[in-house]
Amino acid sequence: MGPVPMSDDEIEIDLDDLERRMEGAMHALKSEFASLRTGRASASMLDPIMVDAYGSTVPLNQCGTVNVPESRMVTVNVWDKSLVNAVDKAIRNSGLGLNPVMDGTILRLPIPELNEERRRDLSKVAAQYAESARIAVRNVRRDGMDQIKKAKSMSEDDQKIWSEEIQDLTNKVIAEVDKSLEHKQEEIMQV
> Does residue 8 lie within any of the structural domains?
no
Q: Looking at residue 22, which CATH number applies to its domain?
A: 1.10.132.20
* 36 pLDDT higher than 80: no
Residues 127, 97 share a domain: no
Say which CATH number the domain at 97 has: 3.30.1360.40
61, 92, 110 — which closes off a domain? 110
Residues 182 and 93 in one domain: no
Whether the pTM exceeds 0.75: the reply is no
What secondary structure, in 3-state letters, does the chain show? Answer: CCCCCCCCCCCCCCHHHHHHHHHHHHHHHHHHHHHCCCCCCCHHHHCCCEEEECCEEEEHHHCEEEEEEECCEEEEEECCHHHHHHHHHHHHCCCCCCCCEEECCEEEEECCCCCHHHHHHHHHHHHHHHHHHHHHHHHHHHHHHHHHHHCCCCCHHHHHHHHHHHHHHHHHHHHHHHHHHHHHHHHHHCC
Q: Is residue 122 part of a domain?
A: yes
Total of domains in the chain: 2
- Is the model's pLDDT at 13 over the cut of 70? yes
Q: Give tens-digit pLDDT for 74-103.
A: 999 999 999 999 999 998 887 777 889 999
Q: Which residue has the higher pLDDT, 90 or 48?
A: 90
Highest mean pLDDT among 109-113, 151-155, 159-163: 159-163
> Average pLDDT, stretch 139-150?
93
Domain coverage including residue 156: 15-35+115-189
Task: Report residue 72's pLDDT band, with 50, 70 and 90 as the boundaries.
Answer: confident
Considering the domain architecture, whether residues 24 and 49 belong to the same structural domain is answered as: no
pLDDT band at 39 (very low <50, low <70, confident <90, very high): low
Domain-embedded: residue 172 = yes
76 and 122 both lie in a single domain: no
Task: Clarify whether residues 29 and 53 are in a common domain.
Answer: no
For the stretch 154-169, pLDDT in tens is 888 989 999 999 999 9
